[in-house]
Amino acid sequence: HLSCAQLASWLSDSENTVTVIDIRDQMSFEQGHINGAAHIDNSNVEHFIANTDLNKPLVVCCYHGNSSQGAADYFNAQGFKETFSLDGGFEEWRQIAATLTTD
């Protein structure tokens, strides 16, 4: 598990490289997602795994942090060294991101 605050810290640190994927449906992804996140679904998951650095931390984002737990386990089983489920999912991320951009 990874908190949204920790992910925000990782993303703001240019030394820390992390891969973020979003497993929500395409329409939800298009309406908003974490900057730099890739949309992954059944149609592109094999291509993603074959073309991604398995040694970089992988953060899986869903709606509320539930489905991403199983997906993180799946990617771990596929050879990713560090996989994380984003606690609270995109809904919590959106709330935190709003506070970061508001003075």
Instruction: Enumerate the domain spans of the chain.
Output: 4-101
Neighbours of 101 (CB within 10 A): 6
Catalytic residues: 62
Q: CA 54 to CA 103: how far, in whole Å?
A: 38
pLDDT at 103 over 50: no
Sign of the CA dihedral running 31, 47, 63, 3:
negative
Range list of β-strands (E), 3-103:
19-22, 38-39, 58-61, 83-85
Which class in CATH covers the domain with range 4-101? alpha beta
Structural contact between residues 72 and 23, judged by C-beta atoms closer than 8 angstroms = no
If we measure between CA atoms, which residue out of 103, 62, 52, 102 comes closest to residue 82? 52
The 10s digit of each residue's pLDDT in 4-48 is 999 999 998 867 789 999 999 999 999 999 999 999 999 999 999
The 10s digit of each residue's pLDDT in 51-95 is 999 999 999 999 999 999 999 999 999 999 999 999 999 999 999
The identity of residue 53, as a single letter, is D
Query: What is the pLDDT at residue 96?
Result: 85
Mean pLDDT computed over every residue of the chain: 93
Q: What token pair was written down for 6?
A: 């920790």
Sheet holding 19-22, edge to edge: 38-39, 19-22, 58-61, 83-85
